[in-house]
Structure 1
Amino acid sequence: MRIVVFSENNYGCGASIAAYRLVKGLSKNNEVFFIYEKNRAKFNIFRNIKFSVWHLGKSTSIFKNSIFIGFNILSKLTKTNINRWFLFKVFYKKIKDFKPDIIHFHNTYFTHEQIAKLSENFPVVWTMHDQFALFLYNYKVIKFDGNEKVYCPINDWRRKFYDVDKLLNNNDANIVFTPPSQWLADLGKTVINGRKRIEVIHNGIDINEFFPIDKKKARTNLGLKNKFTFLFLAGTGAWERKNSIIIFKALKLIPDLDIQVVAIGSVTKYKFDDNRIINKGAVYTSEELREVYNSADVFCIPSVLDNLPNTVLESLLCGIPVLGSNKGGIQEMIINDKTGWSFDPYSASDLAIKIEFLYNHRDSIINKTEECRNSVINKFSEDKMINSYTTLYKELKKDQR
């Protein structure tokens, strides 16, 4: 089959990483055209690739680049959608030449009319990596003070260009939404209300990309001590949703616990005086991440809301159990007491109790490697993802005729 996969970013965020992994899997038996708008990769992700890649809105021609920049500036000055109109014209011409069987979106900001136009000629699959496609914002979370926080809501003046109801009510729009988690599917169904098809297809991962390696060696390479290690990935982007602060609060409740807490990423928003916390900075490649996960006894993901995080799959494939928030789709990825444990992300005491429990039972954790890996292989493998999407593509292609 000929498949266009469109992603807002080429790499660097969870949605784009999932899109990239899908493209790699699809390209084994299909002709894939990967299109993205923003270059966020910190390294060359396209080496030894078997698919075509195109950076929409970017050109080797200085003249064409000037046109793209001009339309972006004009859009901001006039508060119109003229830049999206122009990008779509370029995009539509390109894919018509490619003649795809399917267009697969992973985060997009085309208008409802543009998406409908595409779907009339090429069936559209839209993987919902967050709530945007149906709710016009990425996430809505409850903060610790009880107030709501909405991440990345669509600007009021743009709402007329992307109207969810007009897209869902368009009977000619051949589009299927594929949230990776049941949590997001259940939310989506309340909006779709039977007007379009929505189907859970889990994000998949190459089971050979992450795997167990010697823990002592991993710790030595990272300059860590050979002691109980608690790992989390920090970040200043969407930091309230990612909720790293709860880890620092929990550690204050167990000040005498002899552990080392490794933070990957930026924790500059937080002020902490706990010498057990070791900030190792940003990590990008799979090789580096393998070593980081394998250095840990437990990986913690404390998000107050998340969909189906890649980090959980990566940790489990390395044989490292997960202590995860019981909100969103995270709980769907963990088999309690076998591949991980859940906790209330609003409760520092609950997290502290869980950390202390795991420390006191650390000898039993090392026996969970096989269960952790099998949980991903059986449910979230690349093969399962590709088979599910291929089946869907064939159904849509058949219906389009």
Structure 2
Amino acid sequence: MKTLLQINTTLNYGSTGRIAEEIGLLARQKGWNCYMAHGPRMKNESRLQTIQVNSSLDEKIHGGWYSLLRDRHGLGSRHATKRLVERLRSEIKPDIIHLHNIHGYYLNYEVLFDYLRKEDIPVVWTLHDCWPFTGHCTHFDFIGCDKWKTQCHHCPQTAAYPKSLFVDNSFSNYRLKSRLFSSVADNLTFIPVSAWLAELLQNSFLKGCRTKVIHNGIDLNIFRPCDVRNLVVHPGLNDRKVILGVASPWTDRKGLKDFIRLRGMLPMSEYVCVVVGVSEKQAAELPDGMIGIRRTQNIQELVAWYAAADVFVNPTYEDNYPTTNLEAMACGTPVITYRTGGSPEALTARTGRVVGQGRLNDVVDAVHSLVAEDRDNLSSECRAHAERCFDREKCFQSYVGLYQELVK
């Protein structure tokens, strides 16, 4: 039996954690022995064999001393990563190592890639963000930075995740990543989750690596149209049209300010805006006509909001291939998104609208246009598109096929 080891910050939590879990479960069905290595926070129960890489204390040291004070994110947790590597060598002996997010204060990428280079193991790396080819940040679109194409330096985003208070080591981080990640290029296959991200990769220092786009998939048995009369009961709805947004966390980059402005541009008697994933403070500051729902791990509650919405609006300024778009359409709800990153790639002309960033007048027009369409027909088209394109088993089978190809 072949052995697969996946590595991700979270365990069956959030989009990347759920994706890794579902890939592992599908691979196990196909006869693979599957492990999941992860950080100490943000974890749910998993049906895979799990390995927690470091402790909560070590995570705090990594986040504080290495990242916050020295801008050396990903270079703490050295002893914890050495223990992981020793277990991989002596016990698990993986045939494939599949990386997801290796940032997040839990793993030392220098130790890990030294092991990968020496052991000559095939590596699959799903790109959920841009961190692997920058000197600091996970995204750069919001500020329009292109230093990552040649050499990061004087980073304008040291205050963004992974936050650094005083030091800018983006120059040396960039060079170290370039050397380490390129050292396993012959065994490395990158999986950008969008064509947009694949294009960025070809402009980075990793452009020579094998690349294959595999879009994210979702569980269509969970995310599906449903009767919401008894699922979503909120006194603020009052039979108005529901404009839904989902993000966690809600930041300016996710478009919260634009959502608030949108609320003021729609007739309050006809529309209510619901934002899921806000903090308690954000919920308290929302204007009249907006409902704030705290982040929930109750998937059925989230599905109910998707299904109850008339339109899903994703005013993101920075994104790769957001699963929220997929989830909304799978629940029968059309999507309006900004022309940002890979976000438009999931839509068709019959399942939503794409508008320019910040063009709220166009968003309003799109809302009115979609609400005016026959709801049943629109919902059916959204669901049919999801079944064709977003079925997790079809999407994630591509990973299993790739694994089998790499270990022949």
Deviates more, 1:304-313 or 1:66-75: 66-75
Q: What CA distance in whole angstroms lies between the structure 2 residues aligned with 1:269 and 1:219?
A: 21
Residue of structure 1 equivalent to 2:35: 33
Residue of structure 2 equivalent to 1:107: 101
Residue of structure 1 equivalent to 2:273: 261
TM-score, length basis structure 1:
0.83
Q: Give yes or no for contact 2:231–2:301 (8 Å, CA) kept in 1.
A: no
Shift of 1:159: 5.9
Residue 393 (structure 1) aligned with residue 387 (structure 2):
no
Residue of structure 2 equivalent to 1:292: 305
Q: What CA distance in whole angstroms lies between the structure 1 residues aligned with 2:227 and 2:196?
A: 35
TM-score, length basis structure 2:
0.82
Which residue identity lines up with residue 57 of structure 1 in the other structure? Answer: N
CA gap of 1:271–1:143, structure 2 versus 1, over 3 A, is farther
Q: What CA distance in whole angstroms lies between the structure 2 residues aligned with 1:261 and 1:222?
A: 13
SS in 2 for 1:178: strand
Describe how 1:1-400 pairs up with structure 2 within 5 A: 1-29=2-30, 30-41=32-43, 44-46=44-46, 49=47, 51-58=48-55, 83-96=76-89, 97-109=91-103, 110-112=108-110, 114-119=112-117, 120-136=119-135, 137-142=137-142, 151-152=160-161, 156-157=168-169, 160=172, 163-167=176-180, 169-170=182-183, 173-192=186-205, 194-220=207-233, 224-236=237-249, 239-255=251-267, 258-266=270-278, 268-269=281-282, 274-336=287-349, 338-359=350-371, 361=372, 363-398=373-408
Q: Give yes or no for contact 1:231–1:262 (8 Å, CA) kept in 2.
A: yes
CA gap of 1:76–1:245, structure 2 versus 1, over 3 A, is closer
CA gap of 1:223–1:197, structure 2 versus 1, over 3 A, is same
What is the number of residues matched between the two proteins?
A: 380
Q: What CA distance in whole angstroms lies between the structure 2 residues aligned with 1:342 and 1:188?
A: 24
Q: What CA distance in whole angstroms lies between the structure 1 residues aligned with 2:157 and 2:369?
A: 32
Q: What CA distance in whole angstroms lies between the structure 2 residues aligned with 1:33 and 1:99?
A: 11
Q: What CA distance in whole angstroms lies between the structure 2 residues aligned with 1:160 and 1:135?
A: 11
SS in 2 for 1:312: helix
SS in 1 for 2:192: coil
Q: What CA distance in whole angstroms lies between the structure 1 residues aligned with 2:60 and 2:10?
A: 18
CA gap of 1:189–1:53, structure 2 versus 1, over 3 A, is same
Shift of 1:77: 11
Q: What CA distance in whole angstroms lies between the structure 2 residues aligned with 1:334 and 1:76?
A: 37
Q: What CA distance in whole angstroms lies between the structure 2 residues aligned with 1:318 and 1:343?
A: 22
SS in 2 for 1:139: coil
Q: What CA distance in whole angstroms lies between the structure 1 residues aligned with 2:209 and 2:252?
A: 33
CA gap of 1:324–1:31, structure 2 versus 1, over 3 A, is same
Residue of structure 2 equivalent to 1:61: none
CA gap of 1:224–1:28, structure 2 versus 1, over 3 A, is farther
Q: What CA distance in whole angstroms lies between the structure 1 residues aligned with 2:23 and 2:195?
A: 19
Q: Give yes or no for contact 2:75–2:110 (8 Å, CA) kept in 1.
A: no
* RMSD over equivalenced CA pairs, Å: 3.1
Shift of 1:383: 1.6
SS in 2 for 1:373: helix
Q: Which runs of 5+ in 1 are unaligned?
A: 59-64
Q: What CA distance in whole angstroms lies between the structure 2 residues aligned with 1:129 and 1:157?
A: 23
CA gap of 1:20–1:253, structure 2 versus 1, over 3 A, is same
Q: Give yes or no for contact 2:186–2:209 (8 Å, CA) kept in 1.
A: no
Shift of 1:149: 5.7
Which residue identity lines up with residue 134 of structure 2 in the other structure? Answer: F
Shift of 1:112: 4.8
SS in 2 for 1:314: helix
Deviates more, 1:11-20 or 1:97-106: 11-20
